[in-house]
Amino acid sequence: MNALSPWAISASAELAGNTSAIVEHHADLFIFTIKNTSDSIWIQTELPGGGRVAFRAAYSPGAGLKITKKSDIQQDGTVIYLSSAIGKQKVSITIDQREKSPVLRYTTSLTPTKDLIIPSWPRDILFNGKNDNAEQTEGKIHASQFGTRSGFLYLSQSRPKSATLLYLQNLTALNDYCEQAETSLGDTVGGEWPELGFSLPPSKKPLQAGKEVILSDAFITFSEEIPDKEPDMIRLYLDMLARTYLLLPKPDTEYKQWPDILNHGLKDLIDSPGCWSQVAGHKYFNAYVSDYQTPPEIMVQLAVLLPLLDYVEWSKKELEVMKTIKEGLPAFYDKKLGTIMRWLPAAEDKLEGEEEQKVPKVMDSWYLHHPLLNLSRLALKGDETAKKLFLDSLDFAISVARHFNYQWPVFYKMDTLEVVKAETAEGKGGEKDVAGIYAHVMLQAWELTAEKRYLNEAERAAKTLQGYGFDIFYQANNTAFSAGSLLRLYKITKNQLYLELSYMCLAAIFRNVQLWDCNYGYGKNFPKFFSLYPLRDAPYTAVYEEQEVFCAFHDYLKHAEDVDILPSVRLLIAEYIRYLVDRAVYYYPTMLPKDMLEEKPKIGEVDSELWIALEDLQDGWLKSGTVGQEVYGAGNAFGILPRHYLQIPDLPFMVYTDYPTSGFKAQKGKNISFKILGDERISCRMMLVKTAKKKIPEFEVMLKGKKKPLRARSVANGNLEYIIAGNSQISIQLHV
């Protein structure tokens, strides 16, 4: 039996005795009845199987909340105007039934009569039961908000067995409240069964009298399905999230000059002394600008090298810096252990043990596999040095995997395999997604050598991921690599389990995003919508993990071209990519006001004039760059340019899209064709970007299935812009 707050007890009793209805709406098997009590407006919802849940759309402490006016909007909408001692409120309630799962939305604003402090506020969901027995209802919360991630709850009611709900608070709408109140929207959606949902964060400063402010903008998506098995729970989450996302107000994006941004970043990466250290005659990248105390790491070198290789293959240019990086890689190999090492062995004596992993021969589990993955990519492109380092390290990696039974701790000693730190937190286990990136490494080895033992290893590791659900997520980029490896395993074996596990990884990633834009405090200076947190408990978003997830998502869609993956997956991946291309430039301190940058970061220093990305962007009331300026996050622009700028031979323009594409064909004298991926229910930006002063030749842009050419909008620098639906086949017909 669940304990209740005074708010819940009072509300449950009032609702049980309230038989009057302001208005009633029916949507499939769900019935929505709007009721008013002495202090609240409720949307009492009858669920299939005898379940009942009430949503508090408006609240005023103490009795006296009065309806002054009511009007209908659209077919299934109502606007209610209210007054009470604290001020006037307006509640807009709609029910969207355009697809199978109905979506309830209620938006509430308040105009205070006097300057108003909010010390506390009740939550807005109460599973109250049919006989005033809220404490006897039961359910399972599958996932919910942590920190400043999306303000959501994903849950199923099990007693009575009735329905599954995805609740999403549009926190973007509450920015004005937070700006006035000087408060944050972190951890505002949650609660304990049966009293759940959103609660206004306490205010530090008063709301201004006479100024209207939004207090809530909630979306609730309903399904009669009660998932009993993990794959069904994951699939339903992805589908319900995409259903809600389509209705969610989303910020506009703007075209960013990524070719110029890349040139700035490349110059500073190569020329800035703070990016480099020298050991035994070789130059190595520092992890952070001016971090000369930490020895070089192989992960850092490769995390910069691979995006540079993407850029070189796209631009057909040569970069001497790549040769410098490659020359230093063999020194990371330890012949005695038979493996590459995290820290450069020749400089390990610089480690002072200020952190658990900053000790010679101590390995953070994912740090072994990430460099191996990047070495394998180089090897598959014909790099013999990388191939040798990769193949010579595989037996060690396999022995470690088998020693830990494919369940890696956080830190261990490489020479003894003694565990230094077993769990991320008490009872949470180790780095669960390492089994997925390990499977990725093994698949790369199988592709490189055709040795079946590597494929077998990949399958053994992949099967251990069953049962983790949303908790698979340890680090964002590794979870994304895991999703890709599992999709590849599915294509190779046709075993449905691997596709389901792939979806599990993706669901865990989308559970850790921020589907709202923080526009209070310093947050007004940079967009944050659809940003991704690097760790499941990280308080900030991070450039390196976002950049790698971006690339991994592109790779995922490439492997999925001949797979009938969930439409929700295609939609969500494409939208993350679109917003990353819009947001990523703001990781550069050159794009931010100096007063929001941390003056004394944890590592190295922050140079506000340097086009090297900050590791961290924080909540609006906190300064950013608190960790440092991340040299290994330099791949940002080098990953974007080759994937979003399509080059046209011998013509003075490139085609830019902010959505991923496939099947690009551009031969001299022939029409240009490609497919824009994503979902046709959402539009993206395509541009013709001039690369020379010459005039763009006469042409027509045609969509497959349409008879008339698309019209362009002229924008800055002589470029042309088109807004095009996702999942469209494009043909650019040149008249030359």
The residues of the chain scoring below 50 in pLDDT are none
Closest CA to 57 of 15, 109, 9: 109
Q: How far apart are CA 541 and CA 191, in angstroms?
A: 24
Residues 720 and 633 in one domain: no
Distance (Å, whole) CA 232 – CA 220: 19
Domain identity same for 707 and 634 = no
Decide if 39 contacts 82 (C-beta within 8 A). Answer: no
Contact between residue 265 and residue 591 where contact means Cβ atoms under 8 Å apart: no
β strands within 16-102, DSSP E: 23-27, 30-36, 40-46, 52-59, 66-73, 77-84, 87-96
Q: State which residues form the domain around 674.
A: 648-734
Residue 227 lies in a domain: yes
Q: Are 672 and 665 in contact (CB under 8 A)?
A: yes
Taking the CA atoms of the chain, what radius of gyration do you get in angstroms? 27
**728 and 591 fall within a common domain:** no
With tokens 């979870």, the residue in question is 479
Supply the pLDDT for residue 486: 98
Cα distances from 281 to residues 23, 133, 166, 210, 667, in angstroms, run 78, 75, 57, 69, 46
CB atoms within 10 A of CB 614: 30
> For residue 94, which of 224, 211, 238, 249 has the smallest C-alpha distance?
249
Point out the domain boundary residue: 604, 620, 643. Answer: 643
Predicted local distance difference test score (pLDDT) of residue 736: 65
Residues 657 and 632 in one domain: no
Based on the fold, state whether residues 150 and 227 are members of the same structural domain.
Answer: yes
CB-count exposure of residue 440 (10 Å: 0-12, 13-18, 19+): buried
What is the number of H-type helices and E-type strands within the chain? 15, 35
634 and 681 share one domain: no
Residue 612 CB-density burial (10 A; 0-12 exposed, 13-18 middle, 19+ buried): buried
As a whole number of angstroms, the distance between CA 304 and CA 329 comes to: 13
In a domain, 457, yes or no: no
Q: Which residues, including other chains, have CB under 8 Å from residue 87's CB and lie 6 or more apart?
A: 110, 111, 112, 113, 114, 116
Residue matched to tokens 């309230």? 18
pLDDT by residue (tens digit) across 293-345?
999 999 999 999 999 999 999 999 999 999 999 999 999 999 999 999 999 99
CA distances 363 to 342, 507, 526, Å, are 7, 28, 35
Q: Is residue 370 part of a domain?
A: no
> Which token pair is 509?
């990633």
Q: Are 241 and 572 in contact (CB under 8 A)?
A: yes
Quote the CA–CA distance of 254 and 723 in Å, as a whole number. 12
Per the structure, the count of domains in the chain is 3
Examine the domain organization and report whether 24 and 157 are in the same domain.
yes
Same-domain check for residues 625 and 660: no
Q: Look at residue 328 and tell me if it is in a domain.
A: no
Grouping H, G, I as helix, E, B as strand and the rest as coil, residue 247 is helix
Residue 630's DSSP bridge partners are: 288
Judgement on whether residues 631 and 557 belong to the same structural domain of the protein: yes
Domain end (from 604, 625, 643): 643
Q: What is the pLDDT of residue 14?
A: 87
Q: CB-side exposure of 82: number of CA atoms within 13 Å?
A: 32
Quote the tokens at residue 557. 């869609």
- Residue 157 to residue 284: CA distance in whole angstroms: 55
DSSP 159-201: ETEEEEEEEEE-GGGGHHHHHHHT---TT-EEEETTEEEE-PP
| 229 plus 263 within the same structural domain | no
Clarify whether residues 88 and 152 are in a common domain.
Answer: yes
Tabulate helix, strand, coil % of the chain (nearest 5): 35, 25, 35
Mean residue pLDDT of the chain comes to 95
Within-domain flag for 299: no
Task: Quote the pLDDT of residue 6.
Answer: 86
Contacts 24+ apart (CB under 8 A), 117-122: 117/203, 117/206, 117/207, 118/181, 118/200, 118/202, 118/203, 118/207, 119/202, 119/203, 120/199, 120/202, 121/59, 121/199, 121/200, 121/202, 122/5, 122/7, 122/8, 122/11, 122/56, 122/59, 122/199
d(C-alpha 384, C-alpha 172), whole Å: 50
> What local confidence, expressed as pLDDT, does residue 63 receive?
83
Of 264, 285, 256, residue with least CA distance to 273: 285
690 within domain boundaries: yes
**What's the pLDDT score for residue 696?**
84
Residue bearing tokens 């997604």: 433
- Which contiguous run of DSSP H or E holds residue 239? helix 230-247
Neighbouring C-beta atoms of residue 85, cutoff 10 Å: 12
Residue where a domain terminates, one of 601, 628, 643 = 643
Domain-embedded: residue 691? yes
Residue 587 within a domain? yes
Are residues 663 and 684 both part of a single domain?
Answer: yes
